[in-house]
Amino acid sequence: MSVEAKKVTQPKWHTPTPVTEQPQLKLYNSLTKTKNPFVSIKPNEIKWYSCGPTVYDSSHMGHARNYVTIDINRRILQDYFGYNVTFVQNVTDIDDKIIIRARQNYLFEEKIKKQYKTVTDELVKYTQESLVEYIKKNVNLNSVEELNNWLATSKTEELAAINPKYPMYYKALQKATESIKYAKTIPVEEFLANVQDIVVPKLDRELGSSVVDPEIFKSLPSYWENQYDIDMQQLNVLPADIKTRVSEYVPEIVEFVEKIISNGFAYKTADGSVYFNTNAFESSDKHSYAKLQPWNKGSLSLISEGEGSLTSNAGGKLSPNDFALWKASKPGEPAWESPWGKGRPGWHIECSVMASDVLGEQMDIHSGGIDLAFPHHDNELAQSEAFFDNKQWVNYFLHTGHLHIEGQKMSKSLKNFITIQEALEKYSAKQLRLSFALIPWNNQLDFKDTLLNQVKSIENTYNKFFLNVRSINSDIHDRINNGEIISEKFGESEKKLLEDLNTARDQVHEAFCDNLSTPTVIKVISELINTTNLYIANNSDMRIRPVVVIAKYITKILSILGFDARADSLGWKTETEGSSGGSESEEIKLQFAKTISNIRDEIRKYGIESKNQVLLTLSDKIRDEDLLNLGISIDDRTEGNGLVKILNKAEQEQLINQRNEKLQKIKEKEKKKLEQQRLKEQQEKEKLEKASLKPQDMFQDKSKYSEWDAEGIPTKDVNGEEVTKSAKKKLVKQWTAQKKLHEQYFPQNN
């Protein structure tokens, strides 16, 4: 009887259930003033436009805060969360500020610098006339006498409270008046540099309309655009995927404006300008104006500042809130052909056109400094939504916070800024990036000593950690290569260390999901380093593998934040290192160092055993001077050979400075000791000299006394009067003290 074979089936598979709910990425959105879950238009892709620089002067620390912070956010989204980011950034090379600066620079060069090789009476007179015009316009003073009194009695802190621009005017006027006063005694170059800010407004008013060469308006922004690119490269800011310039988009801007007019949201004025009709836009059921900062709608000061100093209302706006899409150009201003006559783009329209040309009628992210929110970004939104007739041109608006220096907001227009190049002379690019990462990207940042001290402390902790791990890892590999068998088994402390790593990973992920919170990430990484350092310190028989895993993870996170990292050799690069991390020459240097270290270990061991101080001193000299000067450090250990570390330049300089500070303290201590000894000897000498006087002789001064008793104590003064009881009491007390001192030093005389 045959038995039918039992059918073989695949066992049931159970779908895994997540232990915990995963956090969702949320971004602080200026359009909602809250953290919104991030949902891209197309899965795994981000269309991103970021407002770039207006290039007419040096980039400053405020720019650095904005662009480095945006760079960190961009890196997290693409390198941590894995989005494919298309990052577009513009360069504003047509703007009222650029026109004025280019024109004034040209006129000052041609009409002043080239014409005056010495400080002449004519030049001084023109400067004095410029000074009077300047004070009447800017500080509401009518004479030089009033100005001198204003300069003598004013304080910049009080002036800033009255008008933020007053400290700038004060500084310019102070330099100019001082130079005029000593005009014939200072070099012409110094005179011109000090009076330029006062003179150029008058020059521009008189001759600005004569500047017509287009190249004058091109060369200035071209130069500063290049300088900006250099600054960003030095700050390790990723270049934009696509860069756009306003000057290359004028035809598209004209077409864009035409479409807004045809849609009923813009109008031409009599002077040939075109303005956006805010009332028509707001009256539409589909649209609303000033989405970002509705409370600033109608702020004429902000609207005026956004329009630029060369914009006039001569053509007749329908509403004070309306803003220029196209500006009719006056003499002395660059111009392009348009259906409305010769003119140039308004400031706000440029970003709408360039962003839309690349990213289309809707984008995921738009970013920029918070100072641009109104009117610039609000006007961008209105223009673009009027053009496409849609409700939401941007889904997420990310605004970086202001940067203050010791509490004061920086501003290029107020001339109270620190350039990026000036900052890089004092701080490294890594330190600047770390200081920005320690503050939430959308918060105000106060760049002050306490923040920089925190940055330097964190940097020092990270440097020491990576150096230590690299050295221990190399040492263990050498021991293995020399035939030593090292246990790989994990004990409780190793398992606990990996648990700490997994906890840190969860915390980092949660922090990145929570509005890209880099301050929390830096804190978690620092705590993980401290935990690992404790493991290393408390385990003489440590396991290197979990330590290496942690070092590589930390390196990965730091790399995501934009710190140059070297995962192959465990750590982040310093500014003095090359791009390759470890090298063949470094390996040769390491082998040489270990050979010398082994010889030194023998010298030190014999010195300890024989208590030979000469050998111990030689051992310390080899470690603290000879090897350290070659970029090699050695950590002596209670067991086994010293731990050899190959230092980069920054690490070497730090240890040399610490060594020199230690030696200096020893020298100062020895000097103080010698000084105390010298003082003691001097005091002893003086005491001996005083003690040599016999008590019987100490009051033998006939100009004061006429009679004495048997012990030499005065009984009558020089006039023959009896010494008073109180005076006698003092004399006896002095005599007794001298007797005691004399007997102490000269006992043989008693």
Tell me if 26 sits within 8 A of 396, measured CB to CB. Answer: no
Closest CA to 130 of 150, 149, 114, 147: 147
pLDDT at residue 580 in the model:
36
Per-residue CA distances from 661 to 24, 665, 666, 670 (Å):
50, 6, 9, 14
pLDDT at residue 524 in the model:
98
Residue-wise pLDDT tens digits, 432-489 = 999 999 999 999 999 999 999 999 999 999 988 998 898 888 888 888 888 989 999 9
Q: Is the per-residue pLDDT at 575 higher than 60?
A: no
pTM of the shown model: 0.81
Tell me if 363 sits within 8 A of 49, measured CB to CB. Answer: yes
Rounded CA separation 627/131 (Å): 63
pLDDT at residue 409 in the model:
66
Tell me if 335 sits within 8 A of 342, measured CB to CB. Answer: yes
Confidence of residue 572 (pLDDT cuts 50, 70, 90): low
pLDDT at residue 578 in the model:
42
Tell me if 384 sits within 8 A of 356, measured CB to CB. Answer: yes
CA end-to-end distance (rounded Å), the chain: 141
Q: Is 60 left (phi over 0), alpha (psi -120 to 50) or beta?
A: beta
Closest CA to 306 of 382, 359, 254: 382
What's the mean pLDDT in 199-206?
96
Rounded CA separation 522/511 (Å): 10
Rounded CA separation 672/664 (Å): 12
Q: Looking up tokens 């005694």, which residue turns up?
A: 185
Closest CA to 377 of 260, 274, 292: 292
Beta bridge partners of 708: 714
Q: Is the per-residue pLDDT at 196 higher than 50?
A: yes
The token pair at 344 is 């140039």
- Which of 183-197, 380-394, 644-658, 700-714 comes out lowest in average pLDDT? 644-658
- E strand map for 114-189: none
pLDDT at residue 500 in the model:
98
Q: What is the DSSP string of 664-703?
A: HHHHHHHHHHHHHHHHHHHHHHHHHHHHTS-GGGTT--TT
264 three-class SS = coil
What's the mean pLDDT in 537-544?
90
Q: What is the largest CA-CA distance in the chain?
A: 159
646 three-class SS = strand
Q: Are strands 84-91 and 394-400 parallel, antiparallel or unpaired?
A: unpaired
Other residues' Cβ atoms within 10 Å of the Cβ of residue 353: 27
pLDDT at residue 27 in the model:
98
Other residues' Cβ atoms within 10 Å of the Cβ of residue 464: 15
Beta bridge partners of 287: none
pLDDT at residue 741 in the model:
83
The token pair at 600 is 């030194």
Peptide bond just before 18 cis, omega within 30 deg:
no
What's the mean pLDDT in 671-678?
89
Tell me if 700 sits within 8 A of 709, measured CB to CB. Answer: no
pLDDT at residue 728 in the model:
85
What's the mean pLDDT in 39-51?
98
What's the mean pLDDT in 562-572?
70
pLDDT at residue 571 in the model:
67
35-51 burial, b if ≥16 CB within 10 A, otherwise e? eeebebeeeeebbbbbb
DSSP character at residue 5: P
Q: Looking up tokens 């480095």, which residue turns up?
A: 68
- Which of 265-269, 449-453, 724-728 comes out lowest in average pLDDT? 724-728
Q: Which residue has the higher pLDDT, 480 or 382?
A: 382
Q: What is the DSSP string of 348-376?
A: HHHHHHHHHHHH-S-EEEEEEEGGGIIII
pLDDT at residue 287 in the model:
94
Q: What is the DSSP string of 592-612?
A: HHHHHHHHHHHHHHHHHHHT-
Tell me if 344 sits within 8 A of 334, measured CB to CB. Answer: yes
Confidence of residue 2 (pLDDT cuts 50, 70, 90): low
pLDDT at residue 577 in the model:
47
The token pair at 164 is 């933020």
Phi and psi (nearest 5°) for 390? -120, 175
Nearest-5° angle of CA 262, CA 263, CA 268?
A: 50
Q: Which residue has the higher pLDDT, 417 or 179?
A: 179
pLDDT at residue 581 in the model:
41
174-209 burial, b if ≥16 CB within 10 A, otherwise e? ebbbebbeebeeeeeeebbebbbbbbbbbbbeebbe
Confidence of residue 314 (pLDDT cuts 50, 70, 90): low
Tell me if 430 sits within 8 A of 575, measured CB to CB. Answer: yes
Tell me if 479 sits within 8 A of 486, measured CB to CB. Answer: yes
Q: Is the per-residue pLDDT at 567 higher than 60?
A: no
Tell me if 124 sits within 8 A of 188, measured CB to CB. Answer: no
Phi and psi (nearest 5°) for 671? -65, -45
Rounded CA separation 270/272 (Å): 6
Rounded CA separation 521/505 (Å): 10
Residue-wise pLDDT tens digits, 580-635 = 344 556 667 677 777 776 777 677 777 777 888 887 778 778 787 878 787 788 77
DSSP character at residue 318: S
Residue-wise pLDDT tens digits, 84-93 = 999 999 999 9
Angle between helices 347-359 and 300-307 (to 10 degrees): 70
The token pair at 83 is 């989005």
What whole-number percentage of the chain has pLDDT above 90?
A: 62
The token pair at 17 is 């259930």
pLDDT at residue 690 in the model:
82
Rounded CA separation 343/346 (Å): 9
Q: Is the per-residue pLDDT at 719 higher than 90?
A: no
Closest CA to 535 of 524, 551, 520: 551
pLDDT at residue 273 in the model:
95
Confidence of residue 407 (pLDDT cuts 50, 70, 90): low
Nearest-5° angle of CA 432, CA 436, CA 438?
A: 115
Rounded CA separation 231/437 (Å): 18
Other residues' Cβ atoms within 10 Å of the Cβ of residue 722: 11
Rounded CA separation 397/562 (Å): 22
Closest CA to 492 of 527, 554, 538: 538
Nearest-5° angle of CA 102, CA 104, CA 108?
A: 120
Calculate the CA dihedral of residues 656, 662, 668, 669 and round it to 10 degrees.
-160
What element of type H or E holds 171? Answer: helix 166-181
Per-residue CA distances from 739 to 443, 508, 716, 726, 727 (Å):
78, 81, 21, 20, 18
